[in-house]
Structure 1
């Protein structure tokens, strides 16, 4: 049997074209929505989603 290697946890860079920006905007809106839904049930989960949204927002600002 031959050894096989996979890239577990590997990430691919976000393209700086229109499609990449659209994907980041979608993810940002998704995390903001999830944070709003989790605001009443779990404060830690809300904070996690807000931090993810802020990180994506910084990425978007650097691309635009």
Structure 2
């Protein structure tokens, strides 16, 4: 029996290629939209989504 390696939960590093940047931009916009949806309903969730968006924004600025 040979060893098998499971890729569930693996993380792929994001590079400087245009596809990676567009994915990050889409995720950033998605988090901001979701935060706006929950703005009046759940403040904790809104804070969490905004913090995720800010983290992605910092990554985009570094790249």
- Into which bin does the TM-score normalised by the smaller protein fall? 0.7 to 0.9
Alignment map for 1:1-64 (pairs within 5 Å):
4-63=4-63
User: What's the CA shift for 1:7?
Assistant: 4.2
The two structures have a TM-score, normalised by structure 1, of: 0.85
User: What's the CA shift for 1:3?
Assistant: 5.9
Gaps of 5+ in 1: none
Moved over 3 A (4+): 1-5
User: How many residue pairs are counted as aligned between the two chains?
Assistant: 63
Give, in whole Å, the separation in 2 of the partners of 1:35 and 1:24: 16
| RMSD of Structure 2 on Structure 1 (CA) | 1.5
The two structures have a TM-score, normalised by structure 2, of: 0.86
